[in-house]
Structure 1
């Protein structure tokens, strides 16, 4: 028997009443609106069924599934400490919001989103795909999009002139392939096919491997990097010999100080510069999405859409230059 709406005699408040899987339910919806009460009834019935079906899975088990599928282990420790022993269906929006205030209240919304909501929702998606839990998503704080900054080709030219080969090689790889710094750090010799001019990024943010074409200058650079930079880290050989994004960014910062350059992080010198360069060449947001492996064109549009519009505006102004100026006589007439 499904839940249905009922009213007590003399009361304007709606109640849900019914039996699901042998359990009797009678609860107040706390509203006199029929429309709101119906929405509550549907949601509550789904919650009950989800709890019956998925009730045994705890958050710590979902984390293991997420990591097994190639998920990023960054920022997980506080989440495991807080939610580890809880069943997935026991984690509520109010609980997450309280944890956000207690643990991350001193941080900017963008940081809270990155360190709490993004990994939390990724873990819950992984559990749902493995049929271990319902599809749950917690709404992150709104983040105001700031104009994106990136390293232009002039900056990159000066950086390469001042950098040692290993730092220059990984930055060149990121800026010409759109690889994230973590993906570049994990690149292994077996992932590189110099003869075909391509590489495979196996552990990506989306969890799906991505093939990237290699420009001739990258083929030459990787040939040298494989000979001079590759070394084992944590039991795996890494082409560029960097263990984490922190070591890459520290190397970039040292070069910038030495060369008197403004500091651009690996993301701004790599992935941002990659997208900005393609858009400056007149490519579409869709092409940028496909080339860089972004999950959705909406994400690309939010971050880089203003660059595409700038390229369109410049093209319109350039096209107008082929027309002659109006004769003075025509300009004088109303």
Structure 2
């Protein structure tokens, strides 16, 4: 039967009830105005008719696709600007020109890498999730590229762009407060991106199988990460924490690290503190930051003779979908490979290993030792 407007005693709002070509509906219009409810009924009935004939591909909006992506565990990072621009627009009506125009409008003058990270990557993640729901067709979106030619490549003096030896990293981490030191330790022995570690939840970690699931990576896809055996006591201790927060790694105050839109800085104070202490000890180390760990893992695996394909799976760089198949299934080759990363004695001897969870509340001020 066609959709009808009905009312119930317990609510002043009109309710849509009925079915269209076998698609049953019983939902509130969220309005008590009869004329407004009738317009909603007409639009809803027309949409159901289209869906019954052509499927949901003809009627799903970007907002609905984004909501479904978030519900499946996708990252909300940078997504709000996209939903503001494309929210009510049908997925099937969005084309390459639309996403290109939006990227230039939102990030005018920005580098291609920035537009890619903050616009194209979240958009494509939403689109790929819609494909899984059969709401959109498979489509190859063109991402912005670096300009070719004789233009000089910009160089950066920021730390974190180069790998360091693990002995040097151990000295630096030993001069940090326990909580940020644990973050840096996990980064140096997983190769994860800092944002992935900051959003990691206890449910994403299987200590017994030494396996970590990154639910939403930079590519928008989930991936599995092997855990170095050195990290087992750390993750086992942090998973034992029971409170209102879901994030596994916290500040010394016991709160999740703040995720800043479009920039880092979560460990800026801790990094500066360690540099200050080392400078006073006449042993300056200024070339280490959170992202140094990822470069160091990548370089060390190459030095260890690890096959490129295995290294790419660990770091989430694989160009094909091979690594996606092992999101929840530990692979022995990956577990063996991650264990080839060296562990200096200094790193093993840090006091907080005795009880990481208890030590994580300890804070060393800049002038402390």
TM-score (norm 2): 0.57
| 2-structure distance, mates of 1:220, 1:96 | 45
The question of 1:203 aligning with 2:227 is answered no
Equivalent position of 2:77 in the other structure: 74
Aligned residue among 286, 295, 302 for 1:262: 286
Alignment match, 2:67: 64
Distance 2:205 2:99 in 1: 42
Whose radius of gyration is greater, 1 or 2? Answer: 1
Give the deviation of 1:117 after TM superposition.
0.7
Partner of 1:168: 181
Moved more, 281-290 or 242-251: 242-251
C-alpha spacing 1:204/1:267, structure 2 compared with 1 (3 Å): farther
Per the TM alignment, residue 125 of structure 1 is displaced from its structure 2 partner at its CA by 0.9
For the residue of structure 2 that corresponds to 1:201, the secondary structure is strand
Contact 1:202 1:209 survives alignment (8 Å): yes
Q: Is the 8 A contact 1:200 1:211 kept in 2?
A: yes
Gaps of 5+ in 1: 1-50, 301-334
Aligned equivalent of 1:283, options 301, 306, 311: 306
- Give the RMSD, CA atoms, in angstroms: 3.3
Give the 5 Å matches for 1:1-334.
Answer: 54-143=57-146, 149-189=162-202, 191-192=204-205, 196=208, 198-205=210-217, 207-208=221-222, 210=224, 212-215=226-229, 217-222=230-235, 225=238, 230=241, 232=243, 235-236=245-246, 238-241=248-251, 242-244=256-258, 246=264, 248-258=266-276, 259=278, 260-269=284-293, 271-296=294-319
Give, in angstroms, the shift of residue 263 of structure 1.
Answer: 4.7
Match of 1:41 in 2: none
Q: Is the 8 A contact 2:188 2:297 kept in 1?
A: yes
Q: Contact 2:177 / 2:270 at 8 angstroms: preserved in 1?
A: no
Tell me if the contact between 1:192 and 1:199 (Cα under 8 Å) persists in the aligned partners: yes
After superposition, the C-alpha distances for 1:83-140 in whole angstroms (9 at most, x for unaligned) are 1111112112222222222211121110110001111111111111111112234311
Identify the residue that residue 43 of structure 1 maps to in structure 2: none
Q: Is the 8 A contact 1:79 1:116 kept in 2?
A: yes
CA shift, 1:209, in A, is 5.2
